[in-house]
Amino acid sequence: MKQDDFLVNALRNSQEAGLPSIEVSPAQGQFLYFLTKLSGAKRVLEIGTLAGYSTLFFAKGLLDDDSSEVVTLEYDPQIAKVAHKNFEESPYRRKIRLLVGEAKDSLMKLVQENVEPFDIIFIDADKANNPLYLDYSLQLAKTGSLIIADNIIREGEILNENSSDERVIGIQQYLEKIAAESSLESVAIATIGIKGIDGFSLSIVTK
Ligand SMILES: C[S@@+](CC[C@H](N)C(=O)[O-])C[C@H]1O[C@@H](n2cnc3c(N)ncnc32)[C@H](O)[C@@H]1O
């Protein structure tokens, strides 16, 4: 798949900075772009920036409107520097707001500031905190918003009831929570590709 130059550039900068290659795959990024474009999203919240590769797919898919933006959360200042460079070198520098700090602190602040609800929320940071991120996401969403969580299959490890991996446990709890939440309708999508076997959960806020 031919990628936009700014996406290729973002991956190159990430690699040169020695960041781990744990971003979405190009095909998964394209899927996120499609979801954004198809839904006509104006506001996207991303929890877990890394070098901003997925952020750029969301930014590309945003509705062409002055008020459209992606807000993305990253706690590591060194990593945030690389993301910032990638955003500056892309056509979307004015469309992306990078908040540096613990995601739970940034989320609490967004709730306290009573910001306009987000159309799409992408949860892709420390998986152990996914249940907490869902609580905040519900406060920052509105009817019709889409909440996406990454890495919900983990090569099938998600089915291991005896796992002691806190990331797996966080995702297991997250999946139980979205299934029990009466204001959500959810579906899981498995993906197979250069990142192995993994997947996204997609939840629509119905009320
Ligand atoms: C899987 S990577 C994000 C990948 C990115 N969404 C992409 O696909 O291009 C997860 C990122 O979340 C950040 N992170 C982990 N724990 C965090 C926390 N508690 N608060 C904010 N960011 C965190 C990590 O530093 C890392 O950069």
Task: Characterize 46-80 residue by residue with b for buried, 16 or more Cβ atoms within 10 angstroms of its Cβ, and e for exposed.
Answer: bbbbbbbbbbbbbbbbbeeeeebbbbbbbbeeebb
Q: What is the pLDDT of residues 150-195, one digit of tens each?
A: 999 888 888 899 999 999 999 999 999 999 999 999 999 998 888 8
Q: What is the pLDDT of residues 118-140, one digit of tens each?
A: 999 999 999 999 999 999 999 99
Closest ligand 1 atom to Cα of 28? 8
Ligand 1 lined by 76 (C-beta under 6 Å): yes
Assign 196 to helix, strand or coil. strand
Q: What is the pLDDT of residues 38-80, one digit of tens each?
A: 999 999 999 999 999 999 999 999 999 999 999 999 999 999 9
| Average predicted confidence (pLDDT) for the chain | 96
Work out the pLDDT band at 20, boundaries 50, 70, 90: very high
Residue 95 carries which side chain, given as an amino acid letter? K
Q: How many CB atoms lie within 10 A of CB 195?
A: 17
Superfamily of domain 5-205: Vaccinia Virus protein VP39 (3.40.50.150)
Q: Which mutation among 6, 15, 75, 166 tests ligand 1's pocket best, with the greatest number of atoms within 8 A of CB?
A: 75
- CA pair distance 139, 137, nearest whole angstrom: 5
- Asked whether the whole model's pTM tops 0.95, one would answer yes
Give the start-to-end residue ranges of the domains of the chain.
5-205
